[in-house]
Amino acid sequence: MSLKLGRVVKLFVLADLALLAGWGLLSPIFSLFIINQVEGATVVAVGIASAVYWFVKGTVQVPIANYLDKSKNEKDDYVVLVLGLVMASLTAFSYVFIQYLWQLYLLEAAHAIAFAMYSPSWLGIFSRHLDKNHHGLDFAMDNAAVSFASAITGFCSGLVVKFFGFPALFVAAGSFTLVSAFIVLTVPSIIFPRQKTRLVELLKNHKMLK
């Protein structure tokens, strides 16, 4: 079994791993944070926060994907991807300052928009750069990497809160998300051919026509 991945696929797997590892820190104990740290929060507030996230993400994600599909190149996908990661990072850092329920719901909406931007743009670029005859393996490697990372960070989340508190958890999640954005920023030269490269190709084609 070959586990060799193309460079774009490999980088996007790493970016996905970093992002979801960071947010994997939050998933296991986010409800505890809401109940213990947000003024007036109850188990009902936990459900509302979850509903806000999934409703906003589901509503916003389709128009974004439709817009990206109309583009003839990957520039729009790439810009939306980076903006989504930056927004997700800022959202994670902002959880440190939550005091009231309206702030929680507002940040959950921002969280949803960020991931609604990330999901279709990441999938669009990733899908167009799948390794030939290894499409299933590429997706499986991404899922496996994210699963292992989420398992590790999920286990560590309780330890982080116990020794450093909830703020450290959100700072870590935001930092992991920035790492994901940094990884994506190394990709443009691969996804978008440099002008010089396109010029060389044009010259070659011109010579061939002659």
Domains and CATH numbers, the chain: 7-209 (1.20.1250.20)
Quick check: 149 pLDDT over 50? yes
The answer, yes or no, to whether residue 143 has pLDDT greater than 90, is no
CA–CA separation, 87 and 91 (whole Å): 6
Q: What is the mean pLDDT of residues 110-117?
A: 96
The yes-or-no verdict on residue 127 having pLDDT over 70 is yes
Which contiguous run of DSSP H or E holds residue 42?
none
Residue 75's pLDDT band, with cuts at 50, 70 and 90, is confident
Mean pLDDT of the chain: 85
Q: What confidence score (pLDDT) does residue 130 get?
A: 80
pLDDT in tens, 90-111: 999 999 999 999 999 999 999 9
> 168 or 72: which carries more pLDDT confidence?
168
Number of helices (H), then strands (E), in the chain: 9, 0
More confident: 86 or 200: 86
As a whole number of angstroms, the distance between CA 97 and CA 72 comes to 41
* Residue from 79, 59, 58, 77 nearest 68 by CA: 77
CB-facing half-sphere around the CA of 184: CA atoms within 13 A? 27
Taking 70 as the threshold, does the pLDDT of residue 208 lie above it? Answer: no
Mean pLDDT, residues 41-66 taken together: 94
pLDDT level of residue 194 (50, 70, 90 thresholds): low
Does residue 140 carry a pLDDT above 90?
A: no
In which band, very low, low, confident or very high, does the pLDDT at 74 lie, cut at 50, 70 and 90?
confident
pLDDT of 203 above 70 = no
Whose tokens are 């743009």? That residue is 121
- 48 band by pLDDT with thresholds 50, 70 and 90: very high
Residue type, 121: S
Q: How confident is the model at residue 205 (pLDDT cuts 50, 70, 90)?
A: low
